[in-house]
Chain A
Amino acid sequence: MEFFLVTLLNSLSYGLLLFMLSSGLTLIFSMMGVLNFAHASFYMLGAYFAYQTSVYLGFWPALVVAPALVAVLGALTERYGLRTVHKYGHVAELLFTFGLAYIIEELVHLIWGRAPVPYRIPEILDFSAFSVFSTKYPAYRVFMMLVSVGMLGGLFLLLTRTRIGLIIQASLTHPDTVEALGHNVPRVFMGVFAGGAALAGLAGVIGGNAFVTEPGMAVSVGTIVFVVVVFGGMGSLAGAFVASLIIGAVQTFSVAFDVSLLTLFAKLGFTPDPQSAWMELWKVTIAQAAPVLPYVLMVAMLIVRPKGLMGTREG
């Protein structure tokens, strides 16, 4: 029970972090039809910028400075990169973000090196917030959840309750009409791209010190975020939310189970031949299979329901 509750809380904080990434990706995708391969790179940049800022100014300024810097980079990417290649179609746009992700990773290698950087949780948050039975639950995890929930609430209000949100929503579906009404749609696109990048950057600021800040973080998180977006249904924010929590839970829970098919077979009273070539497969525990599980889930979802959990369109 204790284990279950703690893991549930961990999976919730991780799932919310995933949603900070997948929400930006989904917004950008539904607006421009572009899958931003560099999205996770913005997450990584957020973490590294936060680290660098926290060296000079401390954690709290970093919470603002790093996402702002990432937002500026996002805006520049849209204005001078994506908008230039837009006329060549979506393949070129996709490949542009792919190449950008590649370059960002190389630059991070160059500037901060290949080893993880010591980006730590601020001391003021380094205590246990409460205890679940005998396990002390770290306050920083709670802080992460608060930041994500606060930010997501803000995003929801912005999109549904404000004039800007209305224009964004209208630009998603009827860009020509919005333009005819006198709004600068390309600037809205730039703003959304910058906003999505800032969300990813913020996720990097609060995720970078909870996990590890290293050059491989973009790739490892990036593919999971893609799984989330496909699993939840391309272009659906609600789907992305549910999928983030599910994939977050799957990833967090699976590493804790040391059970293999062999254990199951033993329960069923069946002993496979130890010499058999399948033995290696039977011996794999869920914990060992943890990295594969999100992809298996994704493939299963695609077979059963190609639109994804809440997707409205296919392809």
Chain B
Amino acid sequence: MADPVVEAVARAVRNAPASGAEPGLMHWRRAMVWAAVAAVLIAAPQVFNQGFAVSMLSQMGIAIIFALSYNMLLGQTGMLSFGHAVYFGLGAFFAAHALNAIGAGSLHWPVSLLPLVGAAAGLAFGLVFGYVTTKHSGTPFAMISLGIAEMVAACSLMFPSFFGGEGGISTDRVVGDKVMGVDFGPGVQVYYLIAAWCFVCMILMFALTQTPLGRMANAVRDNPERVKFVGYNPTRIRFLMLALAGMFAGIAGALEVINFELITAERLGTAASGTVLLMAFIGGVGHFYGPIIGAILITFLQSALSNYTQAWLLYFGLFFLVMILFAPGGIASLVTLHKPAVQTRLLGRLALPYAGAAVAGAVLLAGLIMAVEMFYHYETKREQVGAVMSLFGQQFDTTATGPWLMAVALLVVGGVLLRLAARPIGAAWTEIAAAVNRGQGN
């Protein structure tokens, strides 16, 4: 029986068009892309050079490794895991203890290679837990991964000397002498360490997709029965992929320790596993670069939104639901969707309808934000600071009926406008589809 979960992922991936370029040209183009990625990684902290921006860039680098490692499971092997943070967290804890040992002088190991400790821990636990979990696929695998995650999270409270209890394990990344003027004191040095690891891991994970193992993983995702027929063992392929994904997650965990100099048990809990799932899914699991987009976007939203509003988790959840309902292939699939429009040079035809939808969406969003923020204010802050709150530069009385009616009106009007705006978009797409068909006819 082909597993439905696997089928669904496979469908999303099959819809991604294959690159039609010649092999030689493709290699050259690929080298250019990697060079561009390296240039962006190098230039980013020069452009965004404030302290919090560099710190955010570091977090993005870690999140990229983590989300890509997660997509080795979901996107490439068709395994929906709810416990990937286990490998991240355990890698981080082992790295934290190793870093403390380096600081105490009992271990001689360069800090820049600390991620190898995390990788070893992630790999080891990937082998152990992978052996148990990869006997299953599909929904049972998803539930078992959740069970394992809960088990490890519950264990973390039982062994305070390793997991540090509530406070976690703190450490100090500045140990030993400077090597060529680098001691990882300043955030920018840490960023470049993370960027280097991120670049290496990205290349390795991409290279893995081109190996026989990576190809067979795709086959396991698409049709495990046929994989068996051609003489491969799907369980073993899942097992290897999970172990390797655990290894990369461990690298990300070790980098997190270097970045924050603190690791708590909540980083290996189910909430953390949920976040990485969000990143990969919102970015798009059907494309290699999808999780990168997701990691950057979600990390940005997490730091940016949480500064502005208490309700950011709610917005986050709503964003996730909207993506599932309307763009289940993630942002990467939205990009791919527009390829025919670019090829037929009709992208301009979409501009006006999209602008209309953007206006409608903005009205709807304004109504939503207003309603949610007023609700939050009414429920949590009214008693301390009074009923009046400021939003969009305006003052609103959360106990009066007027602002509430306004929020509802914005929601309704936005919804109706969005419905209306959908029609011209549909018309534009019909035109593009017709143009594509004509092109194929010639």
Contacts and interface: CB of A to CB of B under 8 A. Distances in A.
Interface of A: 29, 33, 35, 81, 84-85, 88-92, 94-96, 98-100, 102-103, 106-107, 110-111, 113, 219, 223, 226-227, 229-230, 234, 280-281, 284, 288-289, 291-292, 295-296, 298-299, 302-303, 306, 313-315
A306 B136 contact: yes
B164 interface: no
Contacts of B270: 219, 223
A103 to B, nearest CB: 4
Interface in B9-48: 9, 11-12
B104 interface: no
A91 B314 contact: no
Contacts of A95: 277, 281, 320, 324
A315 B79 CA distance: 12
Given A102-B317, A103-B318, A219-B270, A314 B147 contact: no
B8 A88 contact: yes
Contacts of B324: 85, 88, 92, 95-96, 99
A299 B132 contact: yes
B362 interface: no
What 10 A-B pairs are tightest by C-beta distance, nearest first? Answer: A89-B8, A295-B151, A291-B154, A103-B317, A88-B328, A102-B317, A106-B314, A90-B4, A292-B154, A99-B320
B314 A234 contact: no
7 contacts: A89-B4, A89-B7, A94-B142, A110-B379, A226-B146, A234-B143, A303-B132
A314 B324 CA distance: 27
B220 interface: no
Interface string B119-138: 00000000000001101111
A315 B80 CA distance: 13
B318 A295 contact: no
Given A96-B325, A98-B274, A299-B132, 18 more contacts: A35-B139, A35-B142, A84-B325, A85-B328, A88-B324, A90-B8, A90-B139, A91-B80, A92-B324, A96-B324, A103-B318, A106-B317, A223-B270, A281-B159, A292-B151, A295-B148, A313-B1, A315-B140
Contacts of B146: 223, 226
Contacts of B136: 302, 306, 314-315
Given A90-B8, A111-B379, A106 B313 contact: yes
B143 A296 contact: no
A84 B137 CA distance: 25
Interface in B265-320: 270, 274, 277, 281, 311, 313-314, 316-318, 320
B375 interface: yes
B39 to A, nearest CB: 35
B375 A110 contact: yes
B428 to A, nearest CB: 23
B433 interface: no
Nearest to B161: A280
Nearest to A219: B270
Contacts of B8: 88-92
Contacts of B143: 35, 226, 229-230, 234
Contact of A91 (B9, B311, B376, B380): B9
A150 to B, nearest CB: 29
Interface in B130-172: 132-133, 135-144, 146-148, 150-151, 154-155, 157-159, 161-162
B325 A292 contact: no
A29 B162 CA distance: 38
Which interface residue of A84, A96, A102, A298 has the most chain B CB atoms within 10 A? A102
Nearest to A231: B147
A95 B81 CA distance: 11
Given A234-B139, A315-B136, A227 B317 contact: no
Contacts of B155: 292
A299 B321 contact: no
Contacts of A226: 143, 146-147
B261 interface: no
Contacts of A219: 270
Interface string B310-348: 010110111011001100100000000000000000000
A151 to B, nearest CB: 25
Contact of B150 (A102, A295, A306): A295
Contacts of B376: 110
